[in-house]
Structure 1
């Protein structure tokens, strides 16, 4: 989701090659007959800077997604100048470890380079020019990894919470057809890859209706969309399980559902929901960072119970869900430490800052045997 990096961790915190509390069964092994268990990799990890975290990835995950290095501003910062150095290493790591590889993301308004939408004089480009630039970008990126990347987030976050189209530059210049064109180009560039639409706050009823309307229209027009990604940026009290389940069922009518970008924040939200609009940032206040030195036992218990509830829900819909992917490996490199308020200490993942599994993971691993 985010381009924010977590605050730096000491090597002893975030780079340990030895983890305590070794699990008897690997996370991915417990769910091998259910769905892929994925995680996002950041640039430092991909480039070898966190061997402890990468040991966790190899042991417990069978699917990977790049957190930032495949976004358009990183991979084509200037027109026609592509930098695949980090993305290539990401894909190679997945191949070397026989993993499902998910590409993120081909078209996203938030981290697109400015030149994408401007001519040499700084004026907004025509519809035809932007369509060509979008096509060239998709063909170059998806084409490079043809038959190597198994699935793509083709378009990211095109629908607002009220169900209407986001008035992004892609929408303003091309119109809603930019979504259709992106999927058509991605399929042409790599007919073997599965293609997904990905968005946050997907349990919101109005947003659900908007996404269903858009995807239904795409399907009716013969657009090759394989399914929908539901970003799982959740909190202790939101969203409601019932509404989340309604969206899984609704989206499952159009193909596979992926639970993407899963993390569980225990910190107070400035606006009280589980959105992921990265343009929103708030000033730091101590009361918004209540656990700088660790979680109280009662909060840890709430955290564990909440994760178990969601994993039970995912198992209930295992015939629809093909991948559950966490947005980071350990707490220390989670974007939630710096968003929506920079400088906080959050605990949203299943491995702590020393790469040790949290107690709830053992309970999560036991769940498939109970279903």
Structure 2
């Protein structure tokens, strides 16, 4: 009987030390539920496929629109500055750089573990006038322009070395017919300005990925011109790692087939491909082959602003289908695409409202003017996780 008493006591001891099965089961059940729970935001839904990026404007970076920044933190894992890193903003007067907003932009990306894209180092537009003039107001020569390009790139890329992962080194140097744009850079340096820019950026940060970026890349002649230019750079040993396809598209242009041909053509160059500046205007176009030539401007007419108060349901449905079709294409080629970047956070701060006709109301992005996700956001999450 004594032995039985000891045995019973030991049994009770071990039963008392055993973990509570119900709590353990609940914890395991919670873990399974969390693992199987469907993502509710874009960046998580697209994880492992490509980065989901957005452009930030100065007011957002400076903290004036916290609700918009919450959208950014929730749905995006890559950011690019819409304007504050362009030379006209960084150094409006010679040797007088102002990095205040750009520094905040980079810090925001680092604070929220985002991939930061630099935009843009050399661009014919939004370059300050002094860049091409001497102190007397006369046009500088080839040697001086080379020095200024190198100095600017070394200053900017050097400041963010190791912090900005990817850069648009040269922006929009090719025309729709495939020829090189006769910009001030080209007029003084010829096509060598592109080589100079990429080599200097690589020297400033050897670990940064360097991109060429352009719009209307689905136009066959332009696509072929960009491919020719890049092949020539590659043959010269110029460090170029990626190409950005600006995605300023409309409801009926470009054809998806041509957009796909461009993805394939650029990827065949053994380069990373990014869809940059993506938005879909729902407004009528004042020209036949609309691209993204920033200097274009047309007179306002009421018939060119058909939805000043609200977008009709039928147009909303068409917008959702158009956007979904593009993302189906992106997912089809996810092995070739590094990132997709929306050009803005919500409809209210999109440049499309004022270009190429000022004062219009457009609806080109994934979030409405109240920062609420449009139905397309849920559609894209479903598409990416099915």
- Per the shorter chain, which TM-score range? over 0.9
Partner of 1:108: 123
Match of 2:95 among 80, 83, 87: 80
1:235 and 1:25 map into 2 onto residues whose CA distance is 27
Q: Does 1:363 align with 2:379?
A: yes
Note the 1:260-275 alignment, pairs <5 A.
260-275=276-291
- Gaps in structure 2 of 5+ consecutive residues: 1-37
> What does residue 303 of structure 1 align with?
319
Q: Give the match for residue 122 of structure 1.
A: 137
Whole-Å Cα distance in 2 between the matches of residues 283 and 366 of structure 1? 41
* Matched residue SS, 1:279: coil
TM-score (norm 1): 0.93
- Taking structure 2 as the reference length, the TM-score comes to 0.89
**1:338-349 matches, cutoff 5 A:** 338-349=354-365
Partner of 1:187: 202
Which whole-Å CA distance do the structure 2 matches of 1:274 and 1:30 have between them? 32
Q: Distance in 1 between matches of 2:289 and 2:347?
A: 20
Partners of 2:54 and 2:67 lie apart in 1 by 15
CA contact (8 A) 1:284 1:341 kept: yes
Cα deviation for residue 121 of structure 1 reads 1.6
CA deviation vs aligned residue, 1:197-217 (integer Å, no higher than 9, x gap): 000000000000000000001
Match of residue 161 from structure 1: 176
Structure 2 equivalent of residue 234 of structure 1? 249
Task: Name which structure has the greater RCO, CA cutoff 8 Å, separation 6+.
Answer: 1
Choose which of 52, 61, 82 in structure 1 pairs with 2:67: 52
SS at match of 2:206: coil
Number of the residue aligned with 2:86: 71
Alignment match, 1:41 = 56
Deviations 1:14-52 (A, max 9, x none): xxxxxxxxx961110000110000000000000000000
Question: How far apart, in 2, do the equivalents of 1:310 and 1:184 lie?
Answer: 34
Cα RMSD (Å) of the superposition?
Answer: 0.9
Tell me what 1:287 maps to.
303
Structure 1 segments unaligned to the other structure (5+ residues): 1-22
Contact 1:239 1:274 in 2 (8 A): no
- The answer to whether structure 1 residue 244 and structure 2 residue 259 are counterparts is yes
Q: Which has the higher helix share?
A: 2
CA contact (8 A) 1:183 1:224 kept: yes
Cα distance in 1 for partners of 2:147, 2:336 equals 35
Distance 1:343 1:34 in 2: 37
Note the alpha carbon deviations across 1:192-247, whole angstroms, 9 max, x for none: 11000000000000000000000001011111100100000000000000000000
Q: Hey, what's the Cα distance between the residues in 2 that align with 1:171 and 1:102?
A: 25
1:285-340 residue CA offsets vs partner (Å, 9 max, x unmatched): 00000000111111111100000000000011111100000000000000000000
Aligned partners of 2:39 and 2:381 also within 8 Å: no
The question of whether the paired residues in 2 share the 8 Å contact of 1:195 and 1:225 is answered with: yes
Give the match's secondary structure for 1:163: coil
Secondary structure at the counterpart of residue 182 of structure 1: helix
- SS in structure 1 at match of 2:287: coil
Task: Tell me if 1:224 matches 2:236.
Answer: no
For residue 198 of structure 1, the aligned residue among 213, 218, 221 is 213
Larger radius of gyration, structure 1 or 2?
2
The count of residues paired between Structure 1 and Structure 2 equals 348
Deviates more, 1:138-147 or 1:75-84: 75-84
- Residue 369 of structure 1: how far off its partner (Å): 2.6
